[in-house]
Structure 1
Amino acid sequence: MKVIEDEQRVRVMEGQWTPEAVIKEIVEEGGHDEPFYVMDLGEVVARYHHWKELMPRVEPFYAVKCNDDKLLVSTLAALGAGFDCASKAEIEMVTGLGVRPERIIFANPAKLASHIRYSSSVGVDLMTFDSETELVKIKQHMPHAQLVVRIRCDAAAARCPLGIKFGCDPVTEAPRLLKLAAVFGLRVVGVSFHVGSGAEESGVYARAIQYCRALFTLGAAAGHAMHLLDLGGGFPGHTGSSIRETAQVINAALDANFSGCEVRVIAEPGRYFACAAYTLATMVYAKREVPAKEDDVEETHTMYFMNDGVYGSFNCLLYDHQEVTPVPLNTAEGTPRSSSFWGPTCDGLDCVVPRMRIPALPLGAWLVFRDMGAYTLPVASAFNGFPVPKVRAVVDRRLWSVLKELWPLTENHFVVAPPAPVAPLAPVTPAPEPHRAVFVECALK
């Protein structure tokens, strides 16, 4: 089979399978001692359709900063999503995939002048602002921009509060900025907000939408033809989470405040699409036992060293305040023991799980971490020379037959190997049909 260098390969699956089963098959091939991800494209597609079902009026503009994996971005582009870009590089990546400029919002309220000029050169006219100095900068470098004023409306609790950095006060600052933009001859076409990444409150969206309704009225009085409402992000994405309650709040608030209005409504989900689609596999390559005391009882504590850590995928522990749980790929037997898990670098702070109880693990044991798609890959570094994990993408054959017609690809980009039988996931009665794996190599544009 011909291998296309430096391109992601999509593995097309038949029959019953899980990300863990794919990991086990890859590990059993042998010769693997580096961490890797398994990405389930089906999870991304399912979440896109679920979003459209629950909030048909709200267009998802994927927040590229959450995970800029080219395959993920390409799949969302093929499905029809728009994109929230925060820099020249992100705009360049998305437009390079053939996404039209009107499907992009430059949603960084504080932008480099060179990035504004680049945005103008490629036709991305929609951008946010939250200060007078930003208006002055935009007036100088892109006076024809379509502006969106970003206001602050924070959730009572959020994994990553953003209002401490971005967003003007909707009552005291935003009205003044709308008038100032009119004086500058700039066009303000809408209002945006961000309740905080990983928000834990649904009602905040209703409060923010009410602020936006009031600003639409003030904007019209200042001479602005406002027609865009940007709900920002904050939507959950981990396995088992739901946006149903949040969708109900948003739909009700839109009906109450923008019913009958020709207003385009967008949002900027990131972790909603990325988080659960990625499963990380790491390997235990070293361990040491040290004396410890737990609940006033002396015992032996085992330190396990993995081939990925906080300078790699687990930077999410620091940046995104995540909590992760390692699950042995093969069932670990025995009495749970005091344990900790550490990354591969020479930094003593490279600790992934400081304390948990788990049966003893042998060297070479593989661990599985679910929900690792959000704010992991784009922030990971190769510190100490340890590589960023590669992504192994998988997709169900029936879904692939549809997606390949939507991607910016032709049949020449795919090489399909003959299907080969693979052992079932686990012996059951009656025995399931064995799943077959087909490797498809694609060159993403």
Structure 2
Amino acid sequence: MELVQRIGVPASRIIYANPCKQIAQIKYAAKHGVQLLSFDNEVELAKVVKSYPSAKMVLCIATDDTHSLSRLSLKFGALLKSCRHLLENAKKSHMEVVGVSFHVGSGCPDPQVYAQSIAEARLVFEIGAELGHTMHILDIGGGFPGVEGTKVRFEEITSVINSALDLYFPEGCGVDILAELGRYYVTSAFTVAVSIVAKKEVLLEQPSREEENGSVLKTFVYHLDDGVYGIFNSVLFDNIWPTPILQKKPTTEQPLYSSSLWGPAADGRDCVAEGLRLPQLHIGDWLVFENMGAYTVGTGSLLGGTQTCHITYTMSRVACGDHRAIKQRGQGSAGFTCP
């Protein structure tokens, strides 16, 4: 809340969408005019009633996220059968419920889950209207893919969403549609470079047929200067095994070895990637990982000696040329430094 208000976002355009809030955070929202708060249970509603009775509430409902990589409904969201009771409690407490939110989880492979959730949100809107709540906000959550090559393309998801919205919340119905597009915007925006700080050669006791034929009888364990408790937390959050790009391109003559990459924490779970086939690398070599914008820096800790990463902003030559053209047309500088 502090960050977005500091960059000029008015309080009326902020929704505190976490349905499990500290009381101090609820009071902070009240003090700074952030009126929209989410809830998904009676206890959370009672907390807001006591600390911020003039807040406007958004009811967070559970979704069928059983096939999503990151399942948020294990932790958040009210079941459809409990929504009437929660809306009745809000009415008795003189709390205004103005909308519904949901999140299908990250890495959802089935766009129809969005359609099902939008249909259930429509039912909650109708229950709310029956009880006297004026509801005008629908937050469809996030988890949208930000890179090509995912199981379901962004365009496929939005096509299903738009069809469901046309059916249940058609244009002109007076409902504002919100979405949480963080992953979509930032996934491909960041590339990470890490160096090898240690390595270990492990002889294989029982080499496979492939390794016998190729005379490869060893594997390499490499330790990086960051791990799953830092930049590579996407391994824990998204079950993604990142694939490195080698700074030094191997020649065709170089043999490939079974390799694994580990972070600096004294923890057996700090494994960044394993089962890789790489040429022999050396201490000080750099590895590059693309599409590292989501669930990396923002959720990292300093566990195990991990250092805060250094961020460098760059611009492609194509974009830089476009920027120069804008300046030449007299539209001013956008504040970028061109190489």
TM-score range, shorter chain: 0.7 to 0.9
Q: Which residues of structure 2 form unaligned runs of 5+?
A: none
1:391 match: secondary structure? coil
Contact in 1 for aligned 2:42/2:86 (Cα 8 Å) = yes
1:338 to 250, 258, 282: 258
Aligned amino acid, residue 162 of structure 2: N
- Return the offset for 1:378: 1.8
Which is worse superposed, 107-116 or 342-351? 342-351
Residue of structure 1 aligned with 2:188, choices 247, 264, 276: 276
Matched, 1:186 2:95: yes
Distance 1:206 1:98 in 2: 34
Give the distance between the partners of 2:162 and 2:265, measured in 1 at CA: 47
Give the Å deviation of 1:314: 1.5
Which residue is equivalent to 2:320? Answer: 397
Q: Which residue of the partner structure matches residue 314 of structure 1?
A: 232
Contact 2:241–2:272 (8 Å) recurs in 1: no
Structure 1 CA distance for aligned equivalents of residues 176 and 197 of structure 2: 52
Cross-structure match for 2:287: 367
- Does 1:295 pair with 2:225? no
8 A Cα contact 2:100 2:139, kept in partner:
yes
How far apart are 1:122 and its partner, in Å? 1.0
**Is 1:255 the counterpart of 2:166 in the alignment?**
yes
Q: 1:281 to 1:327 in 2, by over 3 A?
A: same
CA contact (8 A) 2:65 2:73 kept: no
Distance in structure 2 (CA, Å) of the matches to 1:397 and 1:327: 25
Counterparts of 2:288 and 2:6, CA distance in 1: 34
2:8 maps to 98
In structure 2, the partner of 1:195 is: 104
Structure with the greater relative contact order (CA < 8 A, sep ≥ 6): 1 or 2? 1
**CA spacing shift, 1:179–1:371, aligned 2, 3 Å:** same
Alpha-carbon displacement from aligned partner over 1:309-368 (angstroms, at most 9, x marks no partner): 223211221233221111102212212112122223444443222221112223332111
Supply the AA of the counterpart residue of 1:295: S
Contact 2:227–2:306 (Cα < 8 Å) also in 1: no
Residue 121 (1) aligns with residue 18 (2): no
How far 1:274 sits from its partner (Å)?
Answer: 1.6
Give, in whole Å, the separation in 1 of the partners of 2:268 and 2:169: 54
CA distance in 2, matches of 1:235, 1:127: 23
Which one of 83, 86, 91 corresponds to residue 177 of structure 1?
86
Distance 2:184 2:229 in 1: 24
Corresponding residue for residue 80 of structure 1: none
Distance apart, 1:398 and its partner CA = 5.7
Are 1:150 and 2:150 counterparts?
no
**Distance in 1 of aligned mates of 2:325 and 2:145:** 27
* TM-score using structure 2 length: 0.88
Query: Which residue pairs with 2:157 in the alignment?
Result: 246
Kept in 1, the 8 Å contact 2:103–2:141? The answer is yes
Query: Which residue, out of 196, 210, 214, partners 2:119?
Result: 210
Taking the aligned partners of 1:216 and 1:114, their CA distance within structure 2 comes to: 30
Normalised to the residue count of structure 1, the TM-score between the two structures is 0.68
Deviations 1:367-388 (A, max 9, x none): 1111111111122222343312
Residue correspondences, number: 321
Percentage of matched positions with identical amino acids: 40
Distance 1:347 1:210 in 2: 44
Q: What is the alpha-carbon distance in structure 1 between the residues aligned to residue 280 and residue 295 of structure 2?
A: 30
Distance 1:218 1:261 in 2: 16
